[in-house]
Homo-oligomer: A and B are copies of this chain.
């Protein structure tokens, strides 16, 4: 341990209450980026982040975009050594809170809940995704500066306010600010630990193709008593198409879907097998027992290295209380494909649209709407920065940090690679039960506390 690290970690411990107060201040701002009604709150959260970074000594500024603002901050104070210049990425916007009635307390009134087992839980929308996560890094910087008056390495911070609404302004912003943002390495804090005792670095990310399809049959809603039988029902049509998307073995049936998909190196796969994760371990906590993906793949493969198709939503006809014998004119489904490195997102989109169109009976018509198409990504398992971060995490948590795949997609990592030529190291302290897109989102106090300590170590070690 370097001579200054121990007092920095002590500083983290002794100022944890103030760190928590700052997190709660930010969580109280309902920065829901996807809902225009909250635009002022999103802006207020960005302002808060600028002030917070400035209070540490960063040169921080708010940058307008056609959508919500970006926050960019540079450490222009002294650094320990000429080491890699890192760009830290996080996002200050949050998911919507529907259905609000399922929250046990108001989502934007954060609180600490103490459990019988001694654990303490931070409750509120954004405590985990991503306000709590990105503040672990900011607070680690604050501790270094407080103790030493400097940071170990050169650090810039880049916070987005549109991550939960598809990042519409991201790509143009990176291009326009290429020289300012292209660093040696990106650090991203928006991923999970392996479990609450085992830290993890995420090395593969699945891409995402989001499609909305509306199937229309009659030119208006019909009374099923007067037309039922002869009139084509779009819900019947779409059910058949959606049921066809998987075969009996759980594989996706889109022609060409698995083209370009690669197997991970044998040693990486065997390390995953060594984890000994059973389907029951993974699925039990959410009330399931049997993996629903490709039958000949392990749960970890289904999650990390195999692309998937999911139906994220469907609505058609009368869905309220009671019953209405309507024969609807339309039905709409939202379908997404999680992609792995090697798949072409636009080819998948085209294959899906052709798949649907070919299955439409006479009198049925489909309209498609794109909700984005981003590729999967695999970062090198062997980069020095990744191995350094792995060692620092292992030291902090007292258990070997795993290098894992990510099920979710963090599109910005692809943007960093393509637009700024920059690799990312993804370290995060979320847990699978954080309910990050659901009611009652939480973040373990332990994740927050040891997360700050972890970043303090990584910054010192890089």
Contacts and interface: CB of A to CB of B under 8 A. Distances in A.
B314 A219 contact: no
A209 to B, nearest CB: 11
A287 B324 contact: no
A313 interface: yes
A397 B325 CA distance: 31
Copies of this protein chain in the complex? 2
Interface in A201-243: 206, 208, 210, 212, 217-233, 235-236, 238-240, 242-243
A30 interface: no
Contacts of A287: 217-220, 363
A407 B314 contact: no
A22 interface: no
A165 interface: yes
A224 B292 contact: no
Nearest to A282: B230
A200 to B, nearest CB: 13
A212 B318 CA distance: 11
Interface string A326-338: 1110011110101
B225 A435 contact: no
Q: Considering residues A166, A233, A318, A323, which has the most beta carbons from chain B within 10 angstroms of its beta carbon?
A: A323
Given A218-B287, A437-B326, A316 B314 contact: yes
Interface bin, chain A: 35 or more
- Max count, chain B CB within 10 A of own CB: residue among A206, A227, A245, A320: A227
Given A313-B324, A323-B336, A437-B324, A292 B232 contact: yes
A315 interface: yes
A67 to B, nearest CB: 13
A288 interface: yes
B233 A243 contact: no
A273 interface: no
A122 to B, nearest CB: 19
Interface stretch (A76-84, A304-312, A379-387): A304-312
Given A210-B323, A312-B318, 7 more contacts: A208-B225, A223-B438, A232-B290, A233-B310, A283-B363, A312-B317, A324-B437
5 contacts: A208-B225, A217-B288, A292-B363, A312-B317, A314-B314
Interface of A: 34, 95-96, 98, 165-166, 192, 206, 208, 210, 212, 217-233, 235-236, 238-240, 242-246, 279, 282-283, 286-293, 299, 302-303, 306, 308, 310-320, 322-328, 331-334, 336, 338, 361-363, 371-372, 406-409, 432, 435-438
5 A-B pairs with the lowest CB-CB distances in the bound complex, closest first: A225-B408, A219-B287, A313-B317, A315-B319, A229-B302
